[in-house]
Every structure is written in structure tokens, then in C-alpha cells.
């Protein structure tokens, strides 16, 4: 175990976060997401919620400040409703580490899947919330 790293961040996830460059995206998927069908690099984080991982990642990860919305979540399919508490939980987890949380954009379901295919990696979590998937875009770490 390393000091200062959230215990939910596995060695494989830590390595992936370090490898990612500016503009690379990471999918934090719910337990229902077809990660293995969409991507070659899949990291398992079974039993962990996305909000727990967002809290741990936010301490290590600069969100892209050069795009309008460095967070993306799936839009509800017509006829479905979004539970606003899911997004609220995610932003609250980020705000535990940062003073503010970046803007979230909503992406149509199949456009979200296409974006996930192009992501650096997909992390499958134990999240059970419907439309609980989120894509985070890495930014540039500021120099001291």
C-alpha cells in the first residue's frame, strides 16, 4: 500500500491513470456495461461504487480544462427517466477532493458506446445505478 492513494485504487488502475495522456478518456462503467464487448483493456473493480472510485481518482487526476465538459454520462433512452441523485453523488465525490466539479455532458446511448470504444480503458465497477456510467477526460497536471 502507498501513502496518499485511496485504497480503492488498485495497482492496475494506478498504472493506467499514470499511462494516460492529456485528452485520454477513462470509462467508469456500471456492472451492466458491455465492457469486454467494446474494449480490449478492461480493469475489474467489482464491489466498488463509481463515486468511491471518483473520489480516489480525483486526488490523482487533473480533469481536462480545455474542453467544455470533461465528464460525460449517458442520456436516458426515450421512455426512461434519469435518477438525478446518481450525477449528484458523482459530483459530490469529486468535490470531496476538489473545490469544484467539472461540467457533465449527456451523450446519446450509442454515441456513448462509440466513445467508450475509443477510450484508453474501461473500469467495470459494482455500480448498480441505471445510467451510472461516466467517462472522464484527463487534463494537464499544472506545474508548481
115 annotated ligand-binding residue: no
> In degrees, to the nearest 5, what angle opens at C-alpha 76 toward C-alphas 112 and 64?
45
132 assigned binding-site residue: yes
Sole residue written with cell 495497482: 11
Q: Report d(CA 41, CA 114) in Å as an integer.
A: 15
Q: Alpha helix locations (H) across 35-135?
A: 35-38, 50-58, 84-95, 109-118
* Alpha carbon distance 66, 69 (integer Å): 9
**Active centre residues (catalytic):** 22
The rounded distance, in Å, linking the Cα atoms of 111 and 116 is 9
Q: Is residue 126 annotated as involved in ligand binding? A: no
Whole-angstrom distance, CA of residue 121 vs CA of residue 23:
13
CA-CA-CA-CA dihedral for 23, 63, 90, 88, to nearest 10: -110
- Binding-site members are 30, 109, 131-133
- Binding-site members for substrate are 30, 109, 131-133
Amino acid at each position: 500500500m502507498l501513502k496518499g492513494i485511496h485504497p480503492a485504487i488498485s495497482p492496475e488502475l494506478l498504472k493506467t491513470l499514470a499511462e494516460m495522456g492529456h485528452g485520454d478518456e477513462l470509462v467508469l462503467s456500471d456492472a451492466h456495461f458491455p465492457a469486454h464487448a467494446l474494449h480490449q483493456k478492461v480493469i475489474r473493480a467489482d464491489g466498488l461504487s463509481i463515486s468511491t472510485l471518483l473520489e480516489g481518482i480525483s486526488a490523482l487526476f487533473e480533469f481536462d480544462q480545455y474542453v467544455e465538459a470533461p465528464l460525460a454520462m449517458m442520456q436516458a433512452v426515450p421512455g426512461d427517466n434519469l435518477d438525478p441523485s446518481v450525477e449528484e453523488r458523482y459530483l459530490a465525490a469529486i468535490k470531496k477532493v476538489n473545490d469544484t466539479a467539472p461540467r457533465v455532458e449527456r451523450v446519446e446511448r450509442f454515441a456513448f458506446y462509440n466513445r467508450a470504444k475509443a477510450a484508453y480503458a474501461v473500469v467495470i465497477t459494482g455500480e448498480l445505478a441505471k445510467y451510472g456510467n461516466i467517462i472522464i477526460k484527463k487534463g494537464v497536471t499544472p506545474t508548481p
